[in-house]
């Protein structure tokens, strides 16, 4: 854990603020790589993940961008309403679940809305190393597009393509951009679920292979829980068996029996709660594991995933 202080806060676009964080004791912050995020511990006990969007060579600060989301579960509102210059916060060390594949000959970066934050950092890194890339940034309007000034005045401005819903002539033609899949070209996408689905579906339809596709989700995709049933989990180390009713998660049930599993996002995105499964077949509801990893059924995210079999035996 790192104690930081908010050095500055800036309006970057309509409903998007950036926050500059520095170590509370003025020492350099831990190094990070493009695509990394930090957990921010917010007032009231919430923990939220925010991508770092400053240049990854910097050690004197972390920069995060936060969208004020009306559908927020409380995190973005807390950031916008309660976090100001001078506020002290606790954050985790940077963690990268969305790293660049440095062996790529060329990179295609796709950002939708606030998804620009990790993508911006990637673009800075790629430009710094002289790599070949282009960046497509989609937003509803210019007013809602953050960091446009920074992009347009950057050394790589000629490789940035802006697409605004309200300016149809700028629309992204994903099929055209993704028309020629290659094993040495890598695609990165971050943004709202529908946008990500569109880019990834277009890529797959054009023949792009999974190892070349990289994504980072900000929010879980809604799941229909009406048909959820109950099942049981067995703690392998003690042999205890607990019933998981339809309206409770595995983590909630274990917690109520004094068994704590570390959690962060609580929605299957971050992988913090990942737990090994020794017997039984999980019903995966996370966006963290790859399709191949899910198919192995030897681990799952108990914050949101459930079970296809009456019993799951967990390696805890
Ligand atoms: Fe983030 Fe479970 S807490 S995946």
Q: What is the distance in A from the centroid of ligand 1 to the CA of 286?
A: 8
Q: What is the distance in A from the centroid of ligand 1 to the CA of 301?
A: 6
CATH number of 231-314: 3.10.20.30
Q: What is the distance in A from the centroid of ligand 1 to the CA of 304?
A: 8
What pLDDT is stored for residue 120 in this prediction? Answer: 95
| Domain 106-217 belongs in CATH node 3.40.50.80 | yes
Ligand 1 pocket check: which of 95, 271, 290 to mutate, most ligand atoms within 8 Å of Cβ?
A: 271
Torsion of CA 2, 8, 11, 15, to 10 degrees: 30
With a cut of 50, which residues of the chain have pLDDT below it? none
**Sheet containing 311-314: which strands, arranged edge to edge?**
241-244, 231-235, 311-314, 275-279, 299-300
Could you report the per-residue pLDDT of 52-66, keeping only the tens digit for each?
Answer: 999 999 999 999 999
Q: What is the distance in A from the centroid of ligand 1 to the CA of 264?
A: 6
What pLDDT is stored for residue 98 in this prediction? Answer: 92
What pLDDT is stored for residue 50 in this prediction? Answer: 92
Long-range contacts, 4-10 (Cβ 8 Å, 24+) = 4/29, 4/62, 4/88, 4/89, 4/90, 4/91, 5/86, 5/87, 5/88, 5/89, 6/83, 6/84, 6/85, 6/86, 6/87, 6/88, 6/89, 7/61, 7/85, 8/85, 9/83, 9/84, 9/85
Pocket of ligand 1 (CB under 6 A): 263-266, 268-273, 286, 288, 301, 303
Are 231 and 310 within 8 A, CB to CB? yes
What pLDDT is stored for residue 221 in this prediction? Answer: 67
Place of tokens 């940077």: 94
Q: What is the distance in A from the centroid of ligand 1 to the CA of 254?
A: 15
CATH topology of domain 2-91: Elongation Factor Tu (Ef-tu); domain 3 (2.40.30)
3-state secondary structure of 8: strand
Burial of 273 (0-12, 13-18, 19+ CB in 10 A): buried
Counting from 1 in the atom list of ligand 1, the atom nearest the Cα of 302 is 2
Could you state, in order of their start, the residue ranges of all structural domains in the chain? 2-91, 106-217, 231-314
Counting from 1 in the atom list of ligand 1, the atom nearest the Cα of 303 is 2
């Amino acid at each position: 854990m790192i104690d930081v202080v908010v050095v500055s806060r800036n309006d970057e676009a309509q409903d998007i603020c950036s926050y500059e964080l520095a170590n509370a004791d003025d020492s350099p912050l831990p190094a990070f790589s493009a695509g990394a995020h930090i957990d921010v511990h917010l007032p009231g006990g919430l923990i939220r993940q925010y991508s770092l969007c400053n240049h990854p060579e910097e050690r004197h600060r972390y920069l995060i961008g936060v969208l004020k989301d009306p559908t927020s579960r409380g995190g973005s509102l807390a950031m916008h309403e309660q976090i100001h210059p001078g506020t002290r916060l606790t954050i985790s060390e940077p963690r990268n679940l969305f790293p660049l594949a440095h062996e790529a000959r060329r990179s295609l970066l796709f950002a939708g809305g606030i998804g620009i934050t990790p993508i911006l950092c990637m673009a800075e890194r790629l430009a710094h190393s002289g790599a070949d890339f282009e960046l497509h940034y989609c937003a509803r309007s210019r007013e809602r597009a953050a960091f446009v000034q920074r992009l347009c005045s950057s050394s790589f401005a000629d490789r940035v393509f802006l697409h605004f819903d309200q300016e149809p002539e700028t629309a992204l033609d994903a099929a055209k951009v993704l028309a020629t899949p290659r094993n040495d070209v890598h695609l990165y996408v971050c943004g709202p679920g529908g946008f990500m689905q569109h880019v990834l579906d277009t890529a797959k339809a054009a023949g792009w292979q999974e190892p070349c596709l990289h994504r980072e989700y900000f929010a879980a995709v809604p799941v229909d829980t009406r048909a959820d049933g109950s099942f049981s989990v067995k703690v392998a180390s003690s042999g205890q068996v607990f019933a998981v009713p339809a309206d409770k998660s595995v983590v909630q049930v274990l917690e109520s029996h004094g068994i704590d599993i570390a959690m962060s996002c609580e929605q299957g995105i971050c992988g913090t709660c990942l737990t090994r499964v020794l017997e039984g077949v999980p019903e995966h509801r996370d966006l963290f594991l790859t399709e191949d990893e899910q198919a192995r059924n030897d681990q799952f995210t108990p914050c949101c995933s459930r079970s296809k079999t009456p019993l799951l035996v967990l390696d805890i």
